[in-house]
Amino acid sequence: MHAEKLQAIVLSTLDYGDSDRIASLFSLEHGRIKAFARGARTSRKRFGAALEAFARIEAQVRVREGLAGLQQAEIVTIYPRIRGDLPAIAHALYACEVVEAMTPEGHPLPRLYRLLAAYLDRLEAETAADDSDRRFFEINLLNILGYRPSLESCPRCDTPFGTVGALLQENGEPVCRACAPTGRPLHPSALKALGACMATGTFGKVVFPPDLLTEGGALLDRAIATHAGRRLKSLEFLGQVTP
């Protein structure tokens, strides 16, 4: 079996024994894979600082069922500006954890790879990590993975939300007032702003006013918690270091 050269983003790593490491990679070619990097903790020559969370690398991997073999990794970028900014680190690690929690193993998702890479590039370029960008990333991630929430009409009875808006349910589903008597009210503008995020496809094009950011954020937080199926550890730290 020959080694393939993959473009990948390191999602997380796990030390194994004294000198090895298991890396969770999100690759353009194969989606999320777990790879065993023999000697990664001691071999500066073969891996250097490549196996650090959110580093973008070119990896030589023997892809096989179960654990792949990572032979060598070259750094494309370690995103030095992100590494010098605490809120940016928190956002980048959160994005990596969301992708790791919500993607299946060994299933190529090139659109999601490009979205994650664009988000990291955006964090690297921005002087301050912006919560609008996080929400832009999240709604597009849900859309790519097939978990897009219904933003125009009630998913239960198909009534358009129109100018009335919707009521947000615990599972992150916005429904009309006839289908659910209670729930967090969502203004139509918040739903429209989330829809615009999916229409533009470019970071920075949609800027959420603070109240819409809170409402849209509540929808995305609940939807991601429902679909991820586990508590995201990085979320608490993100809350601590961002306003």
Gyration radius of the chain over CA positions: 19
- Residue 189: enclosing H or E segment and its boundaries? helix 188-200
Of 19 and 202, nearer to another protein (C-beta) is: 19
CB of 82 to another protein, least distance (A): 9
Beta-bridge partner residues of 168: 174, 184
Residues whose CB is less than 8 angstroms from the CB of residue 143 and which lie 6 or more positions away in sequence, other chains included:
198
Q: Match 């988000």 to its residue by tokens.
A: 119
Of 27 and 234, nearer to another protein (C-beta) is: 234
Of 36 and 156, nearer to another protein (C-beta) is: 36
Of 46 and 148, nearer to another protein (C-beta) is: 46
Of 54 and 119, nearer to another protein (C-beta) is: 54
Q: What is the dihedral of CA 147, 152, 154, 160, to 10 degrees?
A: -170
Beta-bridge partner residues of 59: 6, 73
**Burial status of residue 155 (CB atoms within 10 A of its CB: 0-12, 13-18, 19 or more):** middle
CB of 231 to another protein, least distance (A): 9
CB of 199 to another protein, least distance (A): 31
CB of 158 to another protein, least distance (A): 40
CB of 40 to another protein, least distance (A): 13
Beta-bridge partner residues of 77: 56
CB of 174 to another protein, least distance (A): 29
**Burial status of residue 239 (CB atoms within 10 A of its CB: 0-12, 13-18, 19 or more):** exposed
Of 54 and 208, nearer to another protein (C-beta) is: 54
CB of 64 to another protein, least distance (A): 22
Residue ranges in contact with another protein by CB under 8 A = 12, 17-19, 44-45, 48-50, 52-55, 74-75, 78, 80, 83-86, 89-90, 93-94, 96-97, 233-234, 236-238, 240-241
Per-residue CA distances from 133 to 39, 123, 157, 163, 205 (Å): 37, 9, 32, 26, 9
Beta-bridge partner residues of 199: none
Of 2 and 45, nearer to another protein (C-beta) is: 45
In eight-state DSSP terms, residue 3 is P
Strand 68-77 vs strand 20-27: parallel, antiparallel, or unpaired?
unpaired
